[in-house]
Amino acid sequence: GQNIDQPTEMTATEGAIVQINCTYQTSGFNGLFWYQQHAGEAPTFLSYNVLDGLEEKGRFSSFLSRSKGYSYLLLKELQMKDSASYLCAVSWVSGNTPLVFGKGTRLSVIA
Amino acid sequence: DAGVTQSPTHLIKTRGQHVTLRCSPISGHKSVSWYQQVLGQGPQFIFQYYEKEERGRGNFPDRFSARQFPNYSSELNVNALLLGDSALYLCASSLVGGIRSLAKNIQYFGAGTRLSVL
């Protein structure tokens, strides 16, 4: 299978840091993507990781461990507008699917 | 520059009808993918087209079909609609299709077509 697991919901406080985890099956792994999706809107691309390590983009960072089948998205200095669903998506070498998405993590930022 | 555009934005159909959804990719992108997203779930892959050829197909029945035109725009057709087809249908475009170059295969999504089947 190509199970991708991420928490269903998280709540964090404005100004804080939150880490959203994603685990996946390692066999045939090619790369991992993170998308943000506000309610009723399209997913927007945040970052992708191919090699182990941390990719930083402003307040958002994404980490990958290929051997562990593990990634996380780190959001710093949380703002109310960060309330959204965060989708972890994996590209596998085998198969004919460009991306397989997890179910998403719904993040609520509270004051 | 325009992003991925989809039409219509909303659609209401009854069971048994068919529907055609349209997508225009970002200028310069040659690959289009279609996804179905039901409430509370991540997008589920339906089709990918690159250079007008089907490059991938998800686990959807034959009632679903698609094509890509010479200008790289695309249509998704669904026949004999069922209640369970009610969903947000997302189109995504990328520079290329395939998995060799992830940087060139980043998918950029349109706002989607929300289909309600009554």
Instruction: Express each pLDDT in A90-110 by its tens digit.
Output: 998 876 778 899 999 999 999
Greater model confidence, A5 or B40:
A5
pLDDT digits over A18-76, tens only?
Answer: 999 999 988 888 899 999 999 989 999 999 999 999 999 999 999 999 999 999 999 99
Residues B47-68, mean pLDDT to the nearest whole number = 94
The pLDDT value recorded for residue A93 is 80
- Select from B96, B106, B113 the residue whose CB has the most chain A CBs within 10 Å, as the one to mutate to test that interface: B106
Q: Chain A: nearest CA to B99, how far in angstroms? A: 7
A89 touches chain B (CB under 8 A): yes
CB contact under 8 A, B99 and A30: yes
Residues B58-73, mean pLDDT to the nearest whole number = 96
At B35, the pLDDT band (50, 70, 90 cuts) reads: very high
Residues B50-67, mean pLDDT to the nearest whole number = 94
- The answer to whether residue B90 scores a pLDDT higher than 50 is yes
Percent of chain B with pLDDT over 70: 97
CB contact under 8 A, A31 and B102: yes
What is each CA distance from A57 to A60, A106, B6, B88, B111, in whole angstroms? 5, 21, 29, 29, 24
Give the type of residue at B66: A
Alpha carbon distance B95, B93 (integer Å): 7
Residue of chain B minimizing CA distance to A94? B99
- Kindly write down the DSSP assignment for every residue of A34-46, as one continuous string: EEEE-TTS--EEE
Judging contacts by C-beta atoms under 8 Å, the chain B residues touching residue A31 are 102
Q: Chain B: nearest CA to A47, how far in angstroms? A: 9
Helix/strand number for chain B, H first, E second: 0, 11
**CB under 8 Å to B68, separation ≥6 — which residues?**
B32, B49, B50, B51, B52, B53, B74
**Taking the CA atoms of chain B, what radius of gyration do you get in angstroms?**
14
The pLDDT value recorded for residue A2 is 67
The pLDDT value recorded for residue A1 is 47
Q: Give the length of chain B.
A: 118
